[in-house]
Amino acid sequence: MASEATVERRSASHRLSDLFHGRERLQVGALLAGPVGWLVIGYLGSLALLLVAAFWSVDPLSGLTIKEFTLENFEALVNEPVYRDIVWRTVRTALLVTLTDAVIAFPIAFYMAKVASRRGKALLVIGILLPLWSSYLVKVYAWRTLLSANGAINWALDPIGLSGPGYGQAAVWLVMSYLWLPYMILPIYAGLERIPDSLISASEDLGASPFTTFRRVILPLSFPAVVAGSIFTFSLTLGDYITPRLVSNDQFIGNVIFSNVANNQPFAAALALVPIVVMIAYLLVARRLGAFEHV
Amino acid sequence: MRLSRRSQWLLRAAVAVGLAFIYIPLVVIVIYAFNSSKILEWPPPGFTTHWFSQAFKDEAAREAFVTSIKAGIAASAIALVLGTLASIAVARHRFFGRETISFLVILPIALPGIVTGVAISNTFTQVLDVPLSLFTVIVGHATFCIVVVYNNAVARLRRLSGSFEEASADLGAHSWQTFRFVTFPGMRSALIAGGLLAFALSFDEIIVTNFTIGAGEQTLPIWIYSNLFRPHELPIVNAVAVLVILISIIPVYLAHRLGAEEGGATGGRGAGGGVETEATAVP
Amino acid sequence: MRRRDGNPARTAWLVVAGLVVFMLAVAGCGGGSDDTTGGSSDEALQKLGKGEGEVSLISWAGYVEPDWSKPFEQKTGCKVNNKEAGTSDEMVELMKTGQYDGVSASGNASARLVAADLVAPVNTDLVPNYETVFEDLKDQPYNTFDGVNYGIPHGRGANLLMWNGDDVTPPPDSWNVTLDPKVAAKYKGKISQYDDPMSIAEAAVYLKTHEPDLGIENPYELNQEQFDAAVQLLEEQKPLIGEYWSEAAKQISAYAGGDVQVGTTWQYQYFALKEEGVPVKASPASQGFLPKEGATGWSDTWMIAKDAKHPNCMYEWMNWIIEPKVNAEVAEWFGEAPAQELACKETANKNFCAEYHAEEPQFWERVYYWETPLADCGNGEENCMDYNDWVKAWTTIKG
């Protein structure tokens, strides 16, 4: 059989494969040329070009950039307290949302992974994924009407004498926790699925109570998955400006960038560096904690 | 795992609360889609299916829907190609900078959308002198969709032993044949799941799209956003949203079935290490 | 094995270092400002040609409605692509992309667009309906620069003080209901303010009457002392604010939902809410008075982009929008004073122009059209706050 094959003329794909055969560097290079070229030259290059403007300034009337090196944007960022407040407010909300989502997501993911029947699991997975397909804008606007003074939340709480949070910080936290919840549930679910049942049985056989099993077996093993989910809840909160605008009067980093992008791009670029630096630091920590295996 | 009665009950309660949290706003959206008042009053003064018929008739909405589909398919296709290539390199080879690829690929989605959007838009309009259009939107979407495909593909490749490919080579197949007959079939469901998630991401994206789209076109989120300015049409938006959710049950179900099949075929939970659930490996 | 893998951290740092070097190189080598060819070298269109089949516009909510854009499409074959923007900043940003043919620019955008070389002069000979535009809208500082005409007037109006008639009594006739901390405290958490640095001018208009010692003449030309006073007033207002709005729909749903009861608005929202049966009242020009301090307002101009892709269609649009019947429709629909004199004969409400003071130049003297704040105070001094200062202050006010 094999000898017959060598008598035939080699097809183009065969010849191409021969070219790569044994030459690992070439293989890797060919594979990576597309993706890496796209991401490094296209994406990182674009980012660099944008961020370079952080060292420039702007003519107040025309809004045209004066391409001379200056640090005035960074001075403004550091010296004016309002920007520190805004950055801290954004980061704090991102952390709160992440924590909230982790707490809400874990039981659901655990139930899906370890308790639900095959059928129940399928239904739950579909049930969690479906909200991802409803428009982000529509969901936020729905929350806006829910939270309004004459909205459904106040209407429901009124008989017991309570009232909803209305618009503001609490609303932003609530809505963002809502929006990013599926992004937290799914990685935790995947991570929990990967824990073999045998490990849990072994722990029980050794005499551990369910709580101890949870604390000393399940939690550590699923922690990287939680961190993986947190990458999305944290980054999505950090960069959002539409939700704060629709359910609060508070400015987040994204809002200030947005309002400066038109007339003062250098300053907007300097502002943009803040979430970028924060996010890169977060990603480095997450990678350390093994999250990248679970994303 | 054996749980006490009380723990079981608590767990179920937590799940119920969580699901209620997820679905109540969606129920509100559905109710508003039938709201007879133009401004979203609560409680709704009356019910009507008027907005649904308006939604079907609305030309701009239909065009925006089609544009979103086009952009989604194109962006997913690009992401599939680039993500698969990168995943094979990372999972099957060792080279200088391998660990950095995962980091690189996740950046577009981890950095704020407004930064990505403005950067790409600037590069096109000011550096390359390319006008904004559906093409630039697709480029933007593909960039942050790569990671979804990549993660699913890498996870699957890691689980599939490389020995199958080696055996295939030993039997005389060249690398393209090996890919086509051995690697790809093993990866296929992971790629489909990744592709579907990439499509979902692209379909609903607003921030990057806002900065990269041309004047004459609208994707569905852009159409929705522009109708938030038009209070007279706000309920149509809700009707459209409900329709999109209904239509999307199909791809979501498909994605799950494909993921579940693969997992089922190669063994269930247990010593093997657990069912691979790429269908659910998140964006 | 480890050696072949390389050090992953090292790769990352190499890439970052490379990019930083690249960035600094571009930053340092940039050198000098952008070339500004200025308005002098570009020419207005000399001759009107055939329509190009479409036109892309940026406009305020309610300016481009199917009621008059569809007939336009039928008549000229130019399909209208319209993008609505909530603030002048958004409009400038959109114009910078070069994707649009024209924009309905207010005074706080027009000067910036001209200085940034984003718009071309308008040849009014090619716009036959321009002849019968109101005289006090022609050759104004917000649409004419260095003696060169840059746009076609759309219409004008004053920003309104709107309140919920059921919740706010007695009916206010002064801006103190939103700007005087003592009076406004009654409506704490229910005040609606426009989310834009132009609000500083509203505070300045208020202070012009209530603190005459500051010597404010033009609310857009403020020296440090006047500026700080206005900013201070707005900072005192912040805790009383229910919502800062920039999208019309957002404000409409806020009034309808009872989240706000009083604040600044445009006629567009006022009429939309009335149609829905929300008991709003306003102090529009049509009721014969502005709040007693006067008000900020706008006089909008259609401007054509430099190197517009569809210039002929844009000229057709500019002529169409001041066609007497159309401008009448536009004005009545939105609730503003028309730019076209002949429109006053075409309005459905025969008293429309009288109600909106379209033919009374002296009325508009108490309306301070939006302008771009410049360092040049206009009275020989150069120490006024410029737009960047206004934007920075607004960010600080909102917190």
Rounded CA separation C201/C372 (Å): 11
C392 — contact with chain A (CB < 8 Å)?
Answer: yes
**C150 in helix, strand or coil?**
coil
Closest CA to C208 of C194, C226, C195: C226
pLDDT (mean) for B37-65: 82
CB C60 within 8 A of CB C104: yes
Whether A34 and A76 map to the same domain: the answer is no
Rounded CA separation C342/C356 (Å): 15
Chain A residues touching residue C187 (CB < 8 angstroms): none
pLDDT tens digits, B210-236: 889 887 789 999 998 888 756 667 788
CB A243 within 8 A of CB A96: no
Strongest mean pLDDT among B44-48, B72-76, C143-147: B72-76
CATH topology of domain C54-155+300-358: D-Maltodextrin-Binding Protein; domain 2 (3.40.190)
A127 — contact with chain B (CB < 8 Å)?
Answer: yes
Q: How many domains does chain A have?
A: 2
Rounded CA separation C286/C270 (Å): 12
Whether A220 and A251 map to the same domain: the answer is yes
pLDDT (mean) for C145-167: 92
pLDDT of residue B259: 63
With respect to residue A65, please indicate whether it lies within any of the assigned structural domains. no
CB A118 within 8 A of CB C227: no
If you ran DSSP here, which 8-state letter would residue C40 be given? T
Q: Is A73 exposed, middle or buried (0-12, 13-18, 19+ CB in 10 A)?
A: buried
Among B94, B131, B229, beta carbon nearest to C248: B229
Subunits adjacent to chain C (3 or more Cβ pairs under 8 Å): A, B
* Rounded (10°) CA dihedral C208, C209, C215, C219: 10
Q: Who has greater pLDDT, B79 or A116?
A: B79
Q: Who has greater pLDDT, A285 or B262?
A: A285
Question: pLDDT-derived band of residue B39, with 50, 70 and 90 as boundaries?
Answer: low
**What does DSSP say about strands C241-245 and C191-194: parallel, antiparallel, or unpaired?**
parallel
pLDDT of residue B8: 85
Whether A35 and A164 map to the same domain: the answer is no
Rounded CA separation A220/A204 (Å): 16
Contact A204 B82 (CB under 8 A): no
Tokens representing residue C21 in the block? 């070097």
Question: pLDDT-derived band of residue A1, with 50, 70 and 90 as boundaries?
Answer: very low
B90 — contact with chain C (CB < 8 Å)?
Answer: no
pLDDT at residue C376 is higher than 60: yes
pLDDT at residue C76 is higher than 70: yes
Question: pLDDT-derived band of residue C26, with 50, 70 and 90 as boundaries?
Answer: low
Taking each helix axis as running N to C, give the angle between helix C387-398 and helix C199-210, from 0 to 180 degrees, rounded to the nearest 10. 90
pLDDT (mean) for C89-110: 90
DSSP secondary structure letters along chain B: ----HHHHHHHHHHHHHHHHHHHHHHHHHHHHHTBSSSS--SS-S-B-SHHHHHHHH-HHHHHHHHHHHHHHHHHHHHHHHHHHHHHHHHHH---TTHHHHHHHHHHHHHS-HHHHHHHHHHIIIIIS-PPPSHHHHHHHHHHHHHHHHHHHHHHHHHHS-THHHHHHHHTT--HHHHIIIIIHHHHHHHHHHHHHHHHHHHHH--HHHHHH--TT---HHHHHHHHTT-GGGHHHHHHHHHHHHHHHHHHHHHHHHHHHHHHHHT--SSTT-----GGG---
Residue given tokens 């002098």 in the structure block: C40
pLDDT at residue C177 is higher than 90: yes
CB A147 within 8 A of CB B42: no
pLDDT of residue B150: 93
- Other Cβ atoms less than 10 A from the Cβ of A206: the count is 9
Tokens representing residue C120 in the block? 């071309």
A260 — contact with chain C (CB < 8 Å)?
Answer: yes
pLDDT of residue C1: 40
Residue given tokens 């979501």 in the structure block: B252
pLDDT of residue B270: 27
Mean pLDDT (chain C, rounded): 86
If you ran DSSP here, which 8-state letter would residue C188 be given? T
Chain A residues touching residue B252 (CB < 8 angstroms): 126, 129-130, 133
Q: How many CB pairs under 8 A join B and C?
A: 77
pLDDT of residue C35: 42
CB B137 within 8 A of CB B212: yes
Whether A90 and A49 map to the same domain: the answer is no
Contact A275 B85 (CB under 8 A): no
CB C61 within 8 A of CB B229: yes
Q: What part of B 198-227 touches A (C-beta under 8 Å)?
A: 200, 203-204, 206-207, 220-221, 224-225
Rounded CA separation B261/A67 (Å): 58
CB C109 within 8 A of CB C151: no
Domains of chain B, earliest start first:
59-266 (1.10.3720.10)
pLDDT at residue B119 is higher than 90: yes
- Other Cβ atoms less than 10 A from the Cβ of A185: the count is 28
Contact B29 A142 (CB under 8 A): yes
Q: What CATH architecture does domain C158-297+373-398 belong to?
A: 3-Layer(aba) Sandwich (3.40)
Contact C6 B95 (CB under 8 A): yes
Rounded CA separation B202/B79 (Å): 11
Chain A residues touching residue C26 (CB < 8 angstroms): 48-49, 52
Q: Who has greater pLDDT, B36 or A194?
A: A194
pLDDT at residue A285 is higher than 50: yes
A130 — contact with chain B (CB < 8 Å)?
Answer: yes
For residue C45, the one-letter residue type is L
Whether A17 and A148 map to the same domain: the answer is no
Same CATH fold, C158-297+373-398 and C54-155+300-358? yes
Domain of residue A41 covers 2-55
pLDDT (mean) for B65-74: 95
pLDDT (mean) for A85-108: 95
Contact C374 A250 (CB under 8 A): no
Extents of the domains making up chain C: 54-155+300-358, 158-297+373-398
Rounded CA separation C199/C178 (Å): 12
Element (H, E) at C316: helix C311-321
Q: Who has greater pLDDT, C122 or C276?
A: C122
**Which segment of B54-58, C21-25, C360-364 scores lowest on mean pLDDT?**
C21-25
C252 — contact with chain B (CB < 8 Å)?
Answer: yes
Tokens representing residue A15 in the block? 């010849």
Q: Who has greater pLDDT, B186 or A98?
A: A98
Tell me how many helices (H) and strands (E) chain C has: 15, 15
Contact C15 B100 (CB under 8 A): yes
Angle CA(B86)–CA(B78)–CA(B169) in degrees, nearest 5?
45
Whether A218 and A112 map to the same domain: the answer is yes
pLDDT of residue B135: 95
Chain A residues touching residue C28 (CB < 8 angstroms): 69
Among C249, C257, C276, beta carbon nearest to B230: C249
pLDDT of residue A103: 94
pLDDT at residue B264 is higher than 50: no
Write the CA distances from C114 to C105, C125, C305, integer angstroms. 11, 20, 10
Q: Which residues pair with C163 in a beta bridge?
A: C262, C281
Question: pLDDT-derived band of residue C237, with 50, 70 and 90 as boundaries?
Answer: very high
The distance from CA B242 to its chain's CA centroid, rounded to whole angstroms, is 18
Rounded CA separation A122/B252 (Å): 11
A150 — contact with chain C (CB < 8 Å)?
Answer: yes
pLDDT (mean) for C148-164: 92
pLDDT of residue A95: 96
pLDDT tens digits, C190-226: 999 999 999 999 999 999 999 999 999 999 999 999 9
pLDDT of residue C381: 80
pLDDT (mean) for C99-113: 92
Q: Who has greater pLDDT, B64 or B271?
A: B64
Q: What part of C 12-31 touches A (C-beta under 8 Å)?
A: 15, 19, 22-24, 26-28, 30-31
pLDDT of residue B165: 85
DSSP secondary structure letters along C53-80: SEEEEEE-TTSS-HHHHHHHHHHH--EE
CATH number of A272's domain: 1.10.3720.10
Q: How many CB pairs under 8 A join A and B?
A: 306
With respect to residue A64, please indicate whether it lies within any of the assigned structural domains. no
pLDDT at residue A5 is higher than 60: no
A165 — contact with chain B (CB < 8 Å)?
Answer: no
Among A35, A141, A204, beta carbon nearest to B85: A35
CA-based radius of gyration for chain A: 26
**C139 in helix, strand or coil?**
coil
Whether A39 and A158 map to the same domain: the answer is no
C85 — contact with chain A (CB < 8 Å)?
Answer: no
Rounded CA separation C265/C159 (Å): 6
Contact A193 B274 (CB under 8 A): yes
pLDDT of residue B280: 38
pLDDT at residue C163 is higher than 90: yes
pLDDT (mean) for A190-210: 86
With respect to residue A61, please indicate whether it lies within any of the assigned structural domains. no
CB B101 within 8 A of CB C9: no
Sign of CA dihedral B29, B30, B31, B35: positive
With respect to residue A60, please indicate whether it lies within any of the assigned structural domains. no
* Three-class HEC string of A10-51: CCHHHHHHHHHCCCHHHHHHHHHHHHHHHHHHHHHHHHHHHH
Work out the minimum CA distance from B233 to partner chain C, whole angstroms.
Answer: 10
Whether A126 and A265 map to the same domain: the answer is yes
Mean pLDDT (chain B, rounded): 82
pLDDT (mean) for A222-229: 91
Whether A90 and A34 map to the same domain: the answer is no
pLDDT of residue B276: 34
pLDDT tens digits, A244-273: 988 998 999 999 998 888 778 899 999 999
